[in-house]
């Protein structure tokens, strides 16, 4: 039988009623003749609660024990979903990551998938199981320890299973009915996109859009997985949601496809760093070793042999970044006067594959922000995106102004 992968996010399985609703959707697909692999997240809010307990217990925690704690939420959901399906007379069984097994690297908290052997699940499908409910977000390291794939990792789990099992498609069920030009909670003019290119979705995901995890889009693009984002709260329909696909399948020709934002950003500056060859490697090497996700980087003009180095990172990694840099300073690897951390910034980005051939997007973006009295602190660009750091208090104003200026409420 053909295989379908269905992933349900935290809001879609937030309580028993919603689990029953999701299970009914699974039952409809089974009735169509599919063997279904269901990937589930933890119930809404549960992972944050578990992370909070870890941080309260040990601020500089052992990442292996962090994974042991925070992966437990998905196990609960998987078992409840399997039980619900069984009550519907659908042959179902729950699977934790180590039981599949979903094999990963040893990078706890940010593990990468290395292999998903298909024998176990395929044998059970052959024996009459119709639904395998798999706990998302988790796997097993070569050392036999539980690992997690990073926040939002259930998306990556789903796409990886779709690729490994050559699924007909991968449906990602969430609390929104597709991918929008921006967050509808900020702009009531936000428009749902019927299709979006892999590259655009990858940029939006990496820039703060919460619809899909970045690595899930990377995997879908690499293995050409048919990926659909849709709501678990709307009636089933073949036209529902947004299709994430190759650029060649996109009919619209908008220069900018969307405006993304991230409010959980921090701007960190190392003051009076020695300006010499290799200094950047000496700074960002320890940050990489500490697992800091550095994004925008700016180096100021050298002044009498020293320079300032500025970069952005998530706010929850500031303390870890400060420790890594101070340790490097104590070891004599780098020298600087002080670290200045500004945790009251937000990142705003415009994204679109049309930017490759259309000049003037940056100028228009900067003029719009200037007209609203918004100062730009840092700028970063790529072929299809422009990002800026601004004061967080102006975040919603900036998103609305840019969405209006690029007329994203209108289809091409």
Domains, in order of start, for the chain: 3-249 (3.40.1160.10)
47 among annotated binding-site residues: yes
Cα four-point dihedral sign 232, 237, 241, 246: positive
7 is in an annotated binding site: yes
Q: Are strands 378-382 and 385-391 parallel, antiparallel or unpaired?
A: antiparallel
pLDDT for 209 equals 63
Q: What is the pLDDT of residue 246?
A: 81
3-state secondary structure of 15: coil
pLDDT confidence of residue 382:
86
The span from the CA of 42 to the CA of 151, in Å, is 11
What is d(CA 158, CA 90) in angstroms, rounded to the nearest whole number? 21
210 carries a ligand binding annotation: yes
Alpha-helical runs (H) found in 189-274: 198-206, 214-223
- CA separation for the pair 149, 67 (Å, rounded): 9
Residue 180 is labelled as binding a ligand: yes
Residue 203: other Cβ atoms inside 10 A = 26
Flag whether 175 is marked binding: yes
195-197/242-245 β-pairing: parallel
Tokens of 13: 């399985």
- The DSSP H or E segment spanning 397 is helix 395-405
pLDDT tens-digit profile, the chain (412 residues): 899 999 999 999 999 999 999 999 999 999 999 999 999 999 999 999 999 999 999 988 999 999 999 999 999 999 999 999 999 999 999 999 999 999 999 999 999 999 999 999 999 999 999 999 999 999 999 999 999 998 888 999 999 999 999 999 999 998 888 888 898 888 889 898 888 888 888 888 776 566 787 888 889 999 989 899 998 888 777 678 898 988 777 765 678 989 999 888 999 999 999 888 888 999 999 999 998 989 899 888 777 788 999 999 999 999 999 999 999 999 988 989 999 999 999 999 999 988 887 889 999 999 999 999 999 999 998 889 999 999 999 999 999 999 999 999 987 6
* Cα end-to-end span (Å), the chain: 40
Does the annotation place 66 within a ligand binding site?
no
Torsion angle of C-alpha atoms 122, 128, 132, 133, degrees rounded to 10? -160
Residue 185 is assigned to a ligand binding site: yes
Following DSSP, what letter does each residue of 169-202 receive, concatenated? -EEEEESSSS-BSS-TTT-TT--B-SEEEHHHHH
Angle at 330 between CA 325 and CA 332, to 5 degrees: 95
Counting runs of H as helices and runs of E as strands, what totals does the chain give? 12, 18
**CA distance linking residue 372 with residue 403, whole number of Å:** 13
The dihedral sign for the CA sequence 399, 404, 405, 408: positive
- Residue 12, classified by CB atoms within 10 Å of its CB into exposed (0-12), middle (13-18) or buried (19+), is buried
CB 135 within 8 A of CB 98: no
């Amino acid at each position: 039988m053909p295989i379908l992968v269905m992933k349900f996010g935290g809001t879609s399985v937030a309580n028993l009623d919603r689990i029953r609703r999701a299970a009914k959707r699974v039952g409809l697909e089974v009735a169509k003749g599919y063997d279904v692999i269901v990937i589930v997240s933890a119930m809404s809010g549960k992972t944050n609660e578990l992370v909070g307990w870890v941080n309260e217990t040990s601020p500089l925690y052992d990442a292996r024990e962090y994974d042991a704690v925070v992966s437990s939420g998905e196990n609960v959901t998987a078992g409840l979903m399997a039980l619900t399906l069984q009550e519907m007379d659908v042959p179902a069984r729950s699977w934790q990551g180590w039981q599949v097994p979903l094999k990963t690297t040893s990078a706890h908290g940010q593990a990468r998938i290395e292999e998903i052997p298909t024998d176990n699940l395929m044998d059970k499908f052959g024996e009459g199981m119709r639904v395998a409910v798999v706990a998302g977000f988790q796997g097993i390291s070569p050392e036999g320890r539980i690992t997690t794939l990073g926040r939002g990792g259930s998306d990556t789990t789903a796409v990886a299973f779709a690729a490994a099992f050559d699924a007909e498609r991968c449906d990602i069920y969430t609390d929104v009915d597709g991918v929008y030009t921006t967050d509808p909670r900020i702009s009531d003019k936000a428009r749902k996109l019927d299709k979006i290119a892999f590259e655009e979705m990858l940029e939006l995901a990496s820039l703060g859009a919460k619809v899909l995890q970045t690595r899930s889009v990377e995997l879908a693009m690499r293995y050409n997985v048919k990926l659909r984002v849709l709501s678990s709260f709307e009636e089933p329909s073949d036209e529902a949601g947004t299709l994430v696909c190759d650029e060649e399948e996109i009919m619209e020709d908008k220069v900018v496809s969307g405006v993304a934002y991230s409010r959980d950003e921090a701007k960190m500056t190392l003051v009076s760093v020695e300006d010499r060859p290799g200094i950047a490697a000496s700074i960002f090497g320890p940050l990489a070793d500490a697992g800091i996700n550095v994004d925008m980087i700016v180096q100021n003009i050298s002044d009498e042999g020293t320079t300032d180095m500025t970069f952005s990172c998530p706010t929850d990694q500031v303390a870890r970044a400060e420790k890594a840099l101070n340790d490097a300073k104590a070891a004599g690897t780098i020298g600087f006067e002080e670290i200045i951390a500004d945790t009251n910034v937000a990142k705003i980005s415009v994204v679109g594959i049309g930017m490759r051939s259309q000049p003037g997007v940056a100028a228009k973006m900067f003029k719009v922000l200037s007209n609203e009295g918004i100062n730009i602190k840092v700028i970063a660009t790529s072929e299809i995106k422009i990002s800026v750091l601004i004061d967080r208090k102006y975040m919603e104003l900036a998103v609305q102004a840019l969405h209006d200026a690029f007329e994203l409420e209108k289809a091409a």
